[in-house]
Structures are given as C-alpha cells and as structure tokens.
Chains A and B, each alone.
Chain A
Amino acid sequence: MRSLLRFLLRNYFLMMFLALEAFSLVMIVSFNNYQRVSFFNSSNNFVGAVYGRFSSFDDYFSLSRTNAQLAAENASLRKQLQRRIMLQDKYPVNRPDTVAAPAYIFTSAKVINNSVNKQFNYITINKGSRQGIKPDMGIIDADGVVGVITNVSPNYSTGLSLLSKRLSIPAKITKNNYFGSLVWDGEHYNTADLREIPFHIIVNIGDTVVTSGYSNIFPEGIMIGTIKKFNVESGTNFYNIKVELSTNFKTVKFVEVVQNIKRDELIKVESNNVGE
C-alpha cells in the first residue's frame, strides 16, 4: 500500500494528466449528443452577457445591410398581404372561422454568437425562457431555416445551427412534394445534402427545397434552398442531391423563433401509435 502511494506520488504528473484527460474525454462523450442539457454552454447568463455586449458593438458595422434585409422582407410580406386582401374581396367568407387559430407563434431575436467552421455549429440568441423560448423550437430568418433551439437560460438560448451534422430536417421538393431529410455535409457553409429522394422522380437543378412540416418544429413551406447538383450513386435507389442553402449563415443577424402551439398534442397523438 505504501509503495503504491509512493509510486503515485512520484508519478503524480502522469497520474494527474491521465485523470484530467479521462475527465475531458468523459465530457466529450457524454455531451456529444444532440440534446445536451447542461449548464456549461453559451446560453448561460455570464457567457451570454459577454457575447451580448460584444455583439451590440459589432452591430454598428452591419447596420446598412441589416436595414436593407428588413426592408426587403417587409416588402415581400406586404405583397403577400395585398394578395390575401384581394382574394378576400373576390371570394368573401360569410362566416368567420372561430375554431381555427394559428398553430405557430413567432418571436423575433438577435443572433449574438454564431459559427460556420466547426463540424457542429451553434448559434446563440438574446432571448430566453423569460421571453417564452423553450427547447425544440425552430429558428428561421427572412431567407429560410437557421436551426433548432437546444438550451435555454432566463435571458439567452443556444441552438443547433443547420450547419451541424447531427441535425436532420424533414424537407421536400416544392415541385412534386416528394420528401426526404436534409443534413449538412460538413464541408461548406452554403451547401447541404438532401437524402432519401427516390431516383424515379424527375429533379432539376434550381428546384426549390422547403420544410415538409412533418417535424412538428417548423411550419410547412419554409424556404431551405435550391438544388445545386445531383447524381445517382450506383447500387442505391436514391439521388445524391446537393442543396444550395438560401440562408447566409455567415451574416445571419436577426432571426425568428417558431413555436408550434400544438406540438405537445401532436407528439401525444403520434406516441400512441408506437408499439402497436
């Protein structure tokens, strides 16, 4: 026993190294899953405040671009509103539908930290549980899908960016409604792979890819991107499709968090089918 103790003391540098390294590896493995709920991440209040302070300083440099973006979004929304009003004038509804309510609520937020060059990129925003943000809400911006919220603190939250190989988003091709899943390829911040599209259907370069609405996180029809190139891998029945993402992840600044109010109900109904 004493000689063991002496051995440990003499080699304490090696022992301490092994202990710390083992601790790090345990952390890597145990936090290396999609849904990690932990205190130590950038949604925690201190880290959020540091990023928030720096981001407010950084904002001045992107003011003109952000203004142009918001103006463009306003214009497109106004156009949609006009069309809606026109349709209503043309086909007036006699009785207002009192049962139907919007299934999605949108909360605007500002991105205070973001990266594009890791294998698993995260995005931090300046709204948290006090503003009603919860895990598993979607993040979108004017151009399209951005990510999904994973961790929430009172004033900040962190989300998995679409640029993360662990996030797969149910997507469909608008033209023919065939659906597959969209996963980042881990290489470039503006392309992702669309998988599980069977090769008997016709796809073209430039076809629009949007969310399918099957995930109960995103509403149907949120823009994801356009098809950049495709081929059929020999021996499989599926296309290999590269999608050019519509969101510019390098400049994303203002986002909206999407809450599906009926999500809990949906999950409850769907879970009833399991095991039958």
Chain B
Amino acid sequence: MIKDFVKYAIMFVVLVLIQVLILNNIQFSGFVNPYVYILFILLLPFTIPGYLLLGLSFLLGISIDIFNNTLGIHAGATVLLGFLRPGIANLILSREFIEKGNTPNMKQLGFASFLKYTVIAVFIHHLFLFYAEAFSFEGFFQTLLRCVLSSIFSIVIILASQFILFKNIQ
C-alpha cells in the first residue's frame, strides 16, 4: 500500500516535470504538442475507488494548468478522462480481468488491448483539450487537425514508454 503510494507519487511528479519542461518544448511546426502526462491516469489500478480516481485526475490537470497558464483547461480534460476511464475499460476488457485488480499497463493487457485503451483515452482527452483551448468552433477543422496530429504523437510516446519499461513483451 505504502509502496504503491510512493510509486504513484513519484510517477506523478516525474510525468508533470517531463510534460512541462521537455514535451511542451517539442513544437513541430508550431502545430503539434504531445500531452503524455495522462499516462498517470491510464496506469492507475482498476480497483481504485471512484473519488480517488476523479480527485487525482483533477489534481494532475490543475498542476499542468498552473505551469501552462491555462487554468481549467487541462483540469477539465483530465476529469473527463477520469470519469470515462471505467467505461473505456469495460468496453475493451472482460469483467473478470478488471475485477482481478490488475494495473492497466502493456504487460498486463497485451499490446492490442493496451493500444485500443490508449487510443480512445488520448483522443477523448485531446478533443476536450483543444476545443476548450480554442474556446470556439471557429476554425473547426484546423483545431481538429491539431488535435489529431498531437494525439498521434502522444500515443506513440506513451507506447514507446511502455516498450522501454517492459522490454520482454513478445
């Protein structure tokens, strides 16, 4: 329990720092900005109580907001993701698998399920984020393009991080 707490606390801080110090500076053609910090929400164990899932999602979003001067935008997106996460998991995985209390990483889920899980989650998060940022539907398709391109980058980086962590997946 304590071990888990320490593990997730470190992960939280490291992901926020990687996001604001490194990934926010990766700006391909001023169009693409990957947001990988949501990996924290993706990797929370399935058995986590609802209030903790939403609370941590909000805390994560607001931390990124404070660094980015975008108060509320990331928080809204992460809370939405936290709320939809159980639904996404139910959609992709079997009930027994979830109730066993697994952690949804690539090692446990396998590549195909983890890919589906990540793609849906990242896209929902980015969709909310980019439209909340533009704050209008003016330039609808340009915002959508920014959203899709950034999503692809985020997904690739999240998958790569899992491959690096769990080298011995077949």
Contacts and interface: CB of A to CB of B under 8 A. Distances in A.
A25 interface: yes
Of the four ranges (under 10, 10 to 19, 20 to 34, 35 or more), the interface on chain B belongs to 35 or more
A117 B30 contact: yes
Given A17-B54, A20-B58, A187 B69 contact: no
Nearest to B132: A28
B65 A40 contact: yes
Given A13-B54, A20-B58, A116-B27, A28 B21 contact: no
Interface string A3-32: 000000000111011001101111111011
B50 interface: yes
Interface stretch (B4-12, B70-78, B160-168): B70-78
A189 B31 CA distance: 9
A13 B76 contact: no
Interface string B83-115: 100000000000000000000000000000000
Contacts of A25: 72, 76
Nearest to A115: B24
Decide if the interface of chain B is mainly helix, strand, loop or mixed.
helix
A14 B84 CA distance: 10
Interface stretch (A41-49, A215-223, A224-232, A261-269): A41-49
B39 interface: no
A214 interface: no
Nearest to A151: B69
A13 B71 contact: no
A50 B61 CA distance: 18
A35 interface: no
A21 B69 contact: no
A44 B66 CA distance: 9
A250 B72 contact: no
16 contacts: A13-B83, A16-B54, A17-B79, A20-B54, A20-B79, A23-B75, A24-B58, A27-B71, A40-B71, A44-B66, A54-B21, A117-B31, A119-B134, A186-B139, A189-B30, A250-B30
Given A16-B50, A117-B30, 8 more contacts: A13-B51, A17-B79, A17-B82, A28-B71, A36-B71, A42-B68, A47-B67, A54-B21
